[in-house]
Structure 1
């Protein structure tokens, strides 16, 4: 599929823009990416604000869902793998890049991108923000940009590579299903046995060892007493990072 890019100088949120257009009845083709030079109200998971900076990538795309597709929430794995592959294809020194559940891509344990998946009927709108040139300072986590790891491509070149990788991962998701996707995700993630803490929406913290993913993509956490805890939502922190 050939990607098509629409660029706006400034907007509140590319996700919100695409959702508004879909709800107004516009038929937005798959492969369309709305990319913003500046985004003033970008959002991440759990309502967090995603801060922009000149030269970074901020964009959204649309997936048309069908009953034959794997579960729509698993598109978060599709997207994180696409970002991961795009970084390897464009970064001069892609050292220390790995995935963290559910859809984080980290470099040396630091966050450099954000992914937001929103569903509206038979459509999924997926927003991606990548710190290419600069990273905001955040009080609750370490951040970095790809520029911290060496020369990086311009925003538009990265957009083309990301769109290519997303299209490829989306095709694999539809053709082979969720199982092979999760296997590939695990091969790029922190290793089995990694010490993790998971914070749920109620502020409760659960700690244990990473035991892989359930068939539906849920996180499996082995607690200190040996029991297995299956987690479907939460913020994951790698112990020691």
Structure 2
């Protein structure tokens, strides 16, 4: 495991992508962590705002021919982050997962996970509000410091890197059913009413019916049919 830190950059994901495209070999277990990001990105091109003391870092997974579906790495990253955060909470029930890769604190957004494919690699970027919670349009945000002393960034980085390495090894050695079962145990229950805006911006409502083999969302519609959604924004509706 190797963690390099830099004072400021545009985006740690973009930095690792550029290095891979230039032919550099980045071993699994390598992380690039920034004190500041000036062009951090979230899903669907959204800006990810930073604050000094928060965690902003990226790592790489080399995709092998016999690996499970790469899309499942979204669940891998979320489970690693969940494990790292739960170690720091007196009440672990205050943190849970929301599809596709949100980890929520008391129902509020306090982290972001971004996966990008670069040749035969997946670059995974993670941002976590340790100290402060920059605003996100249309979303309630929170920081871990709201529940007690803010975690020290470098210690958090080491624990997250170790948890991620463990989850990647488990992803490769266990079945997809194991990954889905563990993700579902920490997420919104089956049958939860959801509204989803897909990658085209179209809204569809239904009930959460589980995950497909690749980690896609299965939504049960009012007519009893099911729709598989691979990307989108999810909102839980009041029953």
Question: Which TM-score tier does this pair reach, normalised by the shorter chain?
Answer: over 0.9
2-side partners of 1:29 and 1:216: how far apart?
A: 24
Residue number in structure 2 paired with 1:46: 44
> Is 1:98 aligned with 2:104?
no
Residue number in structure 1 paired with 2:133: 135
2-side partners of 1:70 and 1:104: how far apart?
A: 21
Normalised by the length of structure 1, the TM-score is: 0.95
Residue number in structure 1 paired with 2:114: 116
**1:160: how far off?**
0.7
Secondary structure of the equivalent of 1:230?
A: strand
Q: CA RMSD in A?
A: 1.4
Gaps of 5+ in 2: none
Gaps of 5+ in 1: none
Deviations 1:159-205 (A, max 9, x none): 01101110110000000132211111001101111111000132211
Normalised by the length of structure 2, the TM-score is: 0.96
Secondary structure of the equivalent of 1:67?
A: coil
Secondary structure of the equivalent of 2:218?
A: strand
What is the aligned counterpart of 1:187 among 185, 189, 208? 185
Residue number in structure 2 paired with 1:68: 66
> Is 1:83 aligned with 2:105?
no
**1:213: how far off?**
1.1
1-side partners of 2:155 and 2:162: how far apart?
A: 11
1-side partners of 2:101 and 2:197: how far apart?
A: 15
> How many corresponding residue pairs?
239
CA contact (8 A) 2:71 2:214 kept: no
**1:13: how far off?**
0.3
